[in-house]
Amino acid sequence: MVGNSLSEWDPLEFWNKTHDDYIELNKASIRIKLRLNQTECDSKLILKSMRDMEALFAAASNELPNVSVDKLNRIVESLEQDAPPLLKKEWERVKKGEQYTFWHGRLLSVCCYLR
């Protein structure tokens, strides 16, 4: 565990304790990036926030992790603001696709029945 004072801080011990969390966050980040369309405006906002967060943690990776809570909170607030419009747009797209698939299947069934 991180010691009570700066002189007791051990980067190796910190890494050993946070390694699994880091791996899981990295996996989640990659999955999100692969699912976003990098040319869409809504996706660009989320990708920018993700890059900002990665840069914030990268800056603190070689020294005592003193990540600015204010900066981190601003990035999280940005993600919370930018994600809902994208999620709503994707939900609408999925619903339209489901309707298309439903009616396409019905039409195909009728054609097969009439044949």
- Model-level pTM? 0.66
Q: Which pLDDT tens digit goes with each residue over 6-36?
A: 556 677 887 788 888 888 988 999 999 999 9
The domain spans of the chain are 6-114
Share of the chain above pLDDT 70, in %: 80
> 72: part of which helix (H) or strand (E)?
helix 69-114
